[in-house]
Structure 1
């Protein structure tokens, strides 16, 4: 992933002009997303939606916490040799322990994802406030190693340009 910035514009006409100018560049930006009234909904843009970011983080955490929890639960029942689930027999007892560990891993993925705050939450909140004030946003993401066209962005006379990430 390269650098990404969000340009805040007061007029939709300027948004369209800047979007067309940037798309005509060689090489063009990797991603251009217009956000605002009549454009892309801010809720669908992961960079500007903390809830969506948290959900994606939870899914990534679950991919390794769930199997780890299963094997940890299975191992625990073998190590301790407790007969907590004796009604299920020797194999069933270990399997239930593994399933309980699996559930713990799944719950842990939610707790871990919710406990991490994103580094740009304040910037995202400020951008969402600008959007609610009636402005338009243009998310510009360049490819790795390609510089953001700063001169072109400043020519559009934006209200603000907010850097979200750097390559």
Structure 2
């Protein structure tokens, strides 16, 4: 038997009253309450729920990129200085200048890894997490429903009655 994928529904509500009212309607409809969460002030935070932290994703990207571009940059800078014979500081000698060229190139590679990794982590790596975190920071509330197609469909129908700023469905691929 092929395991089914878990579906998520994220609804953004403008205030606490709307969020609590919608949550109670979902509860009154006999939907499994253990599959519903409210995120916002006084309820779960984005971190408690497990919403991706874009800064953590960005740091992971920076680390992965830096692990190979910094050593490569050092070697490339060392070789470039050795081949060109550029004298950066006369009193440290030829080998010292080669090492200094490597250090400068490694520093440039580290800066490139930081900029590229950060931008990639913030934009591509975090999906909609930044938008949801920004809404939570602005005082909005999220109702998250997770479960089967039927469950998410029922929750969607009930939530559409409210003044939603946004409603979005997601599918988490099945394992196995």
TM superposition shift of 1:40: 2.5
Partner of 1:20: 34
1:134 is aligned to 140
Choose 1 or 2 for highest CA Rg: 2
CA distance in 2, matches of 1:60, 1:44: 26
Q: 1:40 aligns with which of 34, 40, 45?
A: 45
Structure 1 length normalisation: TM-score? Answer: 0.61
**2:101 paired with 1:97:** yes
Q: TM-score, normalised by structure 2?
A: 0.58
Q: Does 1:87 align with 2:101?
A: no
Q: CA deviation at 1:137?
A: 4.1
Give the Cα–Cα distance (whole angstroms) in 1 for the partners of residues 71 and 140 of structure 2: 46
Gaps of 5+ in 1: 23-32, 141-147
Q: Contact 1:6–1:162 (CA<8 Å) still a contact in 2? A: yes
CA RMSD of aligned residues (A): 4.0
Distance 2:57 2:78 in 1: 32
